[in-house]
Amino acid sequence: MKTKAIALLVLFHFFHAGLMAQEKKPNDTSFEWYDMSLPMEDRIDALISAMTVDEKISQLMNANAPIPRLGVKEYDWWNECLHGVARNGRATVFPQAIALGATFDTKLAFQVATAISDEARAKFNIAQKMGNYHRYAGLTFWTPNVNIFRDPRWGRGQETYGEDPFLTSRIGVAFVEGLQGNNPKYLKAAACAKHFAVHSGPEALRHQFDAVVSSKDLWETYLPAFEALVKEAKVEAVMGAYNRTDGQACCASPFLLQDILTKQWGFKGHIVSDCGAIQDIWKDHHLAKTPAEASSMAIKAAWI
């Protein structure tokens, strides 16, 4: 992972989500990253330079610690909205993704996602006023699931749009565009394409399963939806899967994260692991001897 990518994790809820979309306050004059007159890259560079190594590390979990001396609030990245804002009080419940896919209606998918992001913004504004920076209160949604549903033993199939790569691509792009909005500078909310890649095997084995796939099937079946979300919808995040693909842990695969995602597709957002997937690298896949080594493998795999 690039150093700038680490800073992007820190800054997302300030910059990309538009939380700092106001004039710089007088008491913020020492914080260059609050200066909206500066280019985004300059603001990111300024914050990186101000952070210690420990502070950067503290921002690499789903629950990020605050950095009071730099004016950075705590933030939890864990949130989902596959068919409505999840686990955050009352919200509109739309049909699950598999039913939405069955409509073959991209305009409807866009409208559903737009309604979800409207509610997400409203809930987020309330949470901020209450000082609630905890799980399910943020604007980073681990949605949509654009895996291809081929195996009925997989317990997450209902989260997908079905078995067709083209349909999944079209519905997925529309959903991401509805969630992220069309503001040229800020995201309405952040979408996440998951689970990258070839994640649809037996549910009980998902933490140790090796998805052996031919090159033809990889490129024609499992990757098209991810490519569409990255290139067309400019999805903010991509989540690595629990499983291995052709022997490499998906969250520590230079082939998936560097060669395909970043170099070939030009992905500019941030990469996140599935919950506990870094632990899987050493505990279940046995590709690392220690948790520290597994963490190192994941970071280096995304490093350009």
The DSSP secondary structure of 252-267, one letter per residue, reads G-HIIIIIIIIIIT--
The answer to whether 160 and 148 are in contact (CB under 8 A) is: yes
Amino acid residing at 199: H
The answer to whether 272 and 264 are in contact (CB under 8 A) is: no
Q: How far apart are CA 280 and CA 215, in angstroms?
A: 25
> In a 10 Å sphere around its CB, with 0-12 CB exposed, 13-18 middle and 19+ buried, how is residue 283 labelled?
middle
* CA 145 remoteness from chain centre: 11
Q: Is 195 helix (H, G, I), strand (E, B) or coil?
A: strand
Q: How far apart are CA 200 and CA 146, in angstroms?
A: 10
pLDDT of 260: 97
Active site positions, annotated: 274
Backbone angle region of 65, left / alpha / beta, with phi > 0 → left and psi within -120 to 50 → alpha: beta
Of 193, 162, 189, the C-alpha closest to 271 is 193
Residues of the chain with confidence (pLDDT) below 50:
1-27
Q: How far apart are CA 146 and CA 192, in angstroms?
A: 10
CB contact set of 19 (below 8 Å; sequence gap of 6+): 13, 128
Q: Is 145 helix (H, G, I), strand (E, B) or coil?
A: strand
pTM of the model: 0.90
Of 261, 303, 298, the C-alpha closest to 279 is 298
Q: What angle do CA 100, 190, 169 make, to 5 degrees?
A: 40
Structure-block tokens of residue 166: 């083209």
Q: Helices 106-130 and 165-180, interaxial angle, to 10°?
A: 40
Computed on alpha carbons and rounded to an integer, the radius of gyration of the chain in Å comes to: 19
Q: What is the rounded (10 degree) CA torsion for 39, 268, 230, 245?
A: -170
pLDDT of 20: 40
Q: How far apart are CA 191 and CA 229, in angstroms?
A: 10
Q: How far apart are CA 154 and CA 104, in angstroms?
A: 23
pLDDT tens figures, 243-295: 999 999 999 999 999 999 999 999 999 999 999 999 999 999 999 999 999 99
The answer to whether 11 and 17 are in contact (CB under 8 A) is: no
Q: How far apart are CA 45 and CA 197, in angstroms?
A: 31
Q: How far apart are CA 161 and CA 104, in angstroms?
A: 9
Structure-block tokens of residue 8: 């992007």
